[in-house]
């Protein structure tokens, strides 16, 4: 595998290509010159807000800053092309309608693979499943359940495209998910689509716009009425998306507001742990993980460390590998920010053990590995292994 340029290297190259000195570029990004120098010199990680600022200053996408999509053995071009084709021909599926019950089993398999962060395995089955589900829904006319299955499968497809850095594909998938969700007449399916739509703005670093999507979705969902477990999971998940967007936008008031609503809803679930509905996970455990991440984005790593310490050996019950993996990555970010380098490495090792494909592809795990490897502990064998797995070194 060829060495993948790191985000700091990409910023330096793009800055020079535009004829910008570090002083002017730093001013355009709203950061200090010394901070920019550390970023370009692999002494500090490129956080999502910094990537967003760099993308605006340099007129490129955040994916270009991070070097996404990452070219590695994990990326299966043939399967991605098959998925693109399936998404493109959304009204013209080539697959036949499967036997009764087979599609439901396939959907459950897809949702489990997504939660387990087994993106390659999920990618292999998605094109055919999408075609079968669409053929079934078209034959069934206005059957809400059939269209709900299509919408949920597009939710799985979004997770794959997003994690592999295929942001243009992710945008197209969300439009198809919306197309299917509108045919369900189900507010939960439409809210799940809004959750992913806000995610496309989050990936692009357009946090204000993403927050507007969330707030509109919350308002519409509340107006639709409803109660029960599914209502709590859906509404709580929308607020958690708002926590991410607001914290990356450095809006403490909005962060606290969304977090307060999420905690209130989590209490209503009682002691059932975190629940999964329409590819959305919600409960007290996941809410705590989002709060931890918000402290990092708001430059409060000490508070993030305080939260992460008791979760090392006893993570919230009921959370899938996708969430535990994210906990480990954020734990590593907090440890690095507080200069606990050995602890950051331990968190990363655990992330690879729990969710290897996610950790290999996630921009922030790669950034933490890059800083540890390049600046601090190049000679450590485990860091060398992680750097090779992520393509950061030959």
Domain regions of the chain by residue span: 7-66, 69-185, 200-299, 303-394
Query: Higher pLDDT residue, 385 or 258?
Result: 258
User: Region 138-142: what's the mean pLDDT?
Assistant: 92
State the fold for domain 7-66: 434 Repressor (Amino-terminal Domain) (1.10.260)
The predicted pLDDT at position 273 comes to: 86
pLDDT at 68: 87
Instruction: Give residue 379's pLDDT band: very low, low, confident or very high (50, 70, 90).
Output: low
Residues 348-368 have a mean pLDDT of: 95
Q: What are the Cα distances from residue 187, in Å, to 76, 212, 233, 234? A: 34, 18, 12, 9
Q: State mean pLDDT over 332-357.
A: 95
Residue 71 has pLDDT above 80, yes or no: no
pLDDT over 70 at 321, yes or no: yes
* Confidence at residue 1, expressed as pLDDT on a 0 to 100 scale: 44
| pLDDT tens digit sequence for 275-317 | 999 999 999 999 999 999 999 999 999 999 999 999 988 888 8
CA nearest neighbour of 126 among 138, 136, 114: 114
Sequence-ordered list of residues with C-beta below 8 angstroms from that of 179, at least 6 positions apart, any chain: 90
Look at residue 115 in the predicted model and tell me its pLDDT: 95
User: Nearest-5° angle of CA 228, CA 174, CA 218?
Assistant: 35
* pLDDT of amino acid 298: 97
Token code pair at residue 381: 């064998």
Mean of pLDDT over the chain: 93
Percent of the chain with pLDDT over 70: 96
Range 335-347 average pLDDT: 95
pLDDT tens, residue by residue, 72-129? 555 578 889 999 999 999 999 999 999 989 999 999 999 999 999 999 999 999 999 9
Residues 6 or more apart whose CB falls under 8 angstroms from that of 112 comprise none
Structure tokens at 348: 């990363």
**What is residue 136's predicted lDDT score, i.e. its pLDDT?**
96
């Amino acid at each position: 595998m060829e060495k993948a340029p790191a985000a700091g290297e990409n910023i330096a190259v793009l800055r020079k290509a535009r004829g910008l000195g570090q002083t002017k570029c730093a001013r355009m990004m709203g950061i200090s010159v010394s901070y920019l120098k550390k970023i370009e010199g692999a002494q500090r990680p490129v956080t999502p807000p910094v990537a967003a600022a760099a993308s605006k200053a340099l007129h490129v996408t955040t994916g270009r800053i991070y070097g996404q999509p990452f070219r590695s053995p994990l990326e299966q071009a043939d399967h991605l092309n098959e998925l693109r084709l399936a998404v493109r021909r959304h009204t013209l599926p080539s697959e036949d309608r499967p036997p009764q019950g087979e599609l439901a089993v396939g959907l459950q398999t897809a949702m489990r693979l997504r939660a387990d962060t087994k993106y390659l395995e999920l990618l292999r089955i998605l094109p055919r499943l999408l075609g079968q589900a669409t053929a079934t829904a078209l034959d069934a006319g206005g059957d809400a359940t059939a269209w709900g299955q299509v919408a949920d499968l597009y939710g799985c497809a979004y997770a794959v495209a997003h994690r592999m850095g295929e942001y243009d594909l992710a945008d197209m998938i969300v439009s198809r998910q919306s197309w299917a969700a509108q045919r369900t007449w189900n507010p939960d399916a439409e809210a799940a689509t809004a959750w992913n739509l806000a995610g496309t703005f989050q990936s692009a670093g357009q946090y204000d716009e993403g927050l507007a999507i969330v707030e509109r979705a919350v308002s519409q969902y509340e107006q639709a009425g409803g109660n029960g477990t599914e209502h709590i999971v859906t509404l709580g998940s929308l607020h958690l998306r708002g926590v991410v967007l607001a914290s990356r936008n450095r809006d403490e008031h909005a962060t606290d507001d969304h977090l307060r609503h999420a905690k209130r809803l989590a209490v209503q679930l009682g002691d059932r742990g975190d629940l999964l509905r329409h590819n959305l996970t919600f409960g007290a455990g996941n809410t705590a993980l989002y709060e931890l991440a918000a402290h990092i984005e708001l430059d409060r790593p000490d508070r993030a460390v305080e939260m992460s310490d008791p979760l090392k050996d006893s993570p919230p019950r009921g959370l899938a590998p996708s969430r535990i993996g994210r906990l480990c990555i954020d734990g590593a970010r907090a440890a690095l920010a507080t200069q606990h380098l050995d602890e950051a490495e331990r968190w990363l090792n655990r992330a690879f053990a729990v969710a290897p494909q996610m950790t290999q592809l996630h921009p922030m795990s790669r950034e933490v590995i890059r800083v540890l490897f390049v600046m601090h502990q190049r000679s450590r064998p485990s860091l060398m292994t992680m750097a090779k797995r992520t393509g950061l070194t030959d």
